Amino acid sequence: MTCSFCTRLQAWNPELRTEIPLIDDISECTAIGPDHQIAPPARPRHRIAWLFFWSLLLLGLVLAFVLILRHREAAEKAAAAAAARPAPGIGVTTTTAQKGSIGVYLDAIGTVTPVYTVSITSEVTGLIVTVHYQEGQLVAKGDPLVDIDARPYSATLLQAQGALEKDEGVLAQAQMDVERYRTARERNAIAQQVLDDQEKLVVQDQGTVKNDRGMVQYAQVQVDFCHITAPIAGRVGLRLVDPGNVVQSAGTATLAVIAQLEPTTVIFTIPEDSLGQVQARLAKGAHLPVDAFDRTAQKKIASGTLLTLDNQIDTTTATVKGRALFDNKNGALFPNQFVNTRLLVNTLQGVTLIPASAVQQNGQASFVYVIQDDFAHMRSVKPGVTDGGLTQVAGIDPGDVVANSSFDKLQDNVKVAVSNAPVPAKAGGSKAQ
């Protein structure tokens, strides 16, 4: 029987066929020498590397498990220590109630209205020869604005002056005749009727002269109308006419518009319910200040005083109009400009003031949290006037420390931790004279 090992070896390497003969008897195969025997395959090296990797991974997992257990024990100890300590109070900021003064204001929307606004039209018919003003020019009273052709009216004036001179001569002659007739009458040289007739002629001539003088004055006025000047000081608007245009005395064409800027006024409304306190102050001779702010009510434009009130209440709005006077030296107030006005009606003296943010609402009720011995105590207050972030309150005393934050967490008799020193509320307010 042929050895199967020898057969496979020869098939794997044909060169060994000559070196290793086929053995028919398998028993004889054992007689092969050691130098012809094939060594067993060696164990791969990568298996050793895998064994080393898994050993390190197992060691890392063990260490991680130990660290997690220690961290958990430390956290449990910290939680237990925190539970053993007393609970901290709610962090709040505080402010101190102060005694001061605060103004009582009435806010409204007003319109800048010039004291005088003049729309100039022509009093005569004629051709415009000159426009003296520039658009937007500031003019003084008497400055020339427009010239109209005055030649026809100058001719009429000259005719009237000639008629006056003629009739004045006739009158002088009649007066001379009267003197002669009186002398003759004293000598009985003429009849009394002749003297009387001459005296009446003098009276007639005097009437004629007076009429002539009126015609001269009328003609002079027409000539003056041809030279239009500014009736007031102010600012001229845009040019409305040009040289070469003909204007009519009976027309409505506007030649120029002048609005007075210094001083100017602001007209605003006062509620009917507040009219009584305003009138009471005016009756005492008080000069109530009025401040004008821009449309955002943030920037103050000018300051003035209340000039007067209207004589009736508007039934549709239940308000009365008031007019405030401003000197407007810097021209900050422009005609027809919308402004926000603040009328100082009165000044409350010696009241308790706190920031408006410290007052809380619960329906219709108002309250504050008074801080005493690190505890918050709810106390009802009655708020009054608010101005400049400060509110007048009744129900607490000056010097009381009140909470000014963390209202979503505060409750009555809850412990608090003040995160700042008490900040005094700055007292403010203006005094009405």
pLDDT tens-digit profile of 208-258? 999 999 999 999 999 999 999 999 999 999 999 899 999 998 778 899 999
Helical axes 192-225 vs 151-186, angle rounded to 10°: 160
Tell me: pLDDT of 162 over 90: yes
CATH of 90-115+262-433, one of 3.30.1490.20, 2.60.120.10, 3.40.50.1980, 2.40.30.170: 2.40.30.170
What pLDDT is attached to residue 3?
Answer: 53
Tokens linked to 179: 């003197």
How far is it, in rounded angstroms, from Cα 392 to Cα 425?
A: 11
Count of CB atoms situated within 10 Å of the CB of 433: 11
Higher-confidence residue: 424 or 332? 332
The pLDDT mean for the chain works out to 84
Structure tokens at 233: 């000081």
Nearest to 306, CA basis, from 290, 286, 284, 293: 290
Within 43-155, strands assigned E span: 90-92, 94-96, 98-114, 117-121, 126-131, 138-139, 144-148
Tell me what pLDDT residue 120 has: 93
pLDDT at 66: 82
Mean pLDDT of 71-86: 71
pLDDT in tens, 381-416: 999 888 888 999 998 999 989 988 888 888 888 888
The pLDDT assigned to 190 comes to 85
Q: What average pLDDT does this structure show over 141-156?
A: 94
- Pure H helices in 141-261: 151-186, 192-225
306 burial via Cβ count (<10 Å: 0-12, 13-18, 19+): buried
Task: Name the residue with tokens 């709610």.
Answer: 90
Res 14: pLDDT:
55
For range 141-147, the mean pLDDT: 94
In whole angstroms, give the CA distance from residue 355 to residue 403. 10
Q: Work out the pLDDT band at 27, boundaries 50, 70, 90.
A: very low
Least confident of 75-79, 103-107, 120-124, 310-314: 75-79
pLDDT at 207: 94
Integer Cα distance of 124 and 149 in angstroms? 10
Query: Residue 39 gets which letter from DSSP?
Result: P
Tokens of 344: 């100082």
Q: How confident is the model at residue 11 (pLDDT cuts 50, 70, 90)?
A: low
| Continuous segment of H or E residues that includes residue 267 | strand 264-271
Indicate if the pLDDT at residue 105 is higher than 60: yes
Residue 62: pLDDT band (50, 70, 90) is: confident
- The per-residue pLDDT for 385 is 86
pLDDT for residue 405 = 86
pLDDT > 90: percent of the chain: 49
pLDDT digit string (tens) for 309-345? 999 999 999 999 999 999 999 989 999 999 999 999 9
In angstroms, the CA 49 to CA 65 distance is 25
The larger pLDDT score, comparing residue 389 to residue 21, is at 389
CATH node for 117-145+228-259:
2.40.50.100
* Residue 33 confidence (pLDDT) above 60: no
Q: Which residues of 316-346 are buried (b: 16+ CB within 10 A; e: fewer)?
A: eeebbbbbbbbebeeebbebebebbbbbbbb
Which tokens is 82 given? 């925190």
Confidence (pLDDT) at 58: 82
Least confident residue range of 5-9, 62-66, 93-97: 5-9
Average pLDDT over residues 65-91: 74
Most confident of 162-171, 362-371, 377-386: 162-171
**What was the pLDDT predicted at 8?**
54
More confident residue, 427 or 368: 368
CB 258 within 8 A of CB 114: no
What are 261-281's pLDDT values in tens digits?
A: 999 999 999 999 989 989 999
Asked if the peptide bond before residue 86 counts as cis, ω within 30 degrees of 0, the response is no
Exposed (0-12), middle (13-18) or buried (19+): which is 133, by Cβ within 10 Å?
A: buried
Q: What percent of the chain has pLDDT over 70?
A: 84
Which range (48-52, 129-133, 257-261, 376-380) has the least confidence? 48-52
pLDDT at residue number 246: 92
- When pLDDT is cut at 50, 70 and 90, the band that residue 54 belongs to is confident
CATH number of 150-225: 2.30.29, 1.10.287, 1.10.1200, 1.20.1050? 1.10.287
Q: How far apart are CA 255 and CA 71, in angstroms?
A: 94
pLDDT-derived band at 81, boundaries 50, 70, 90: low
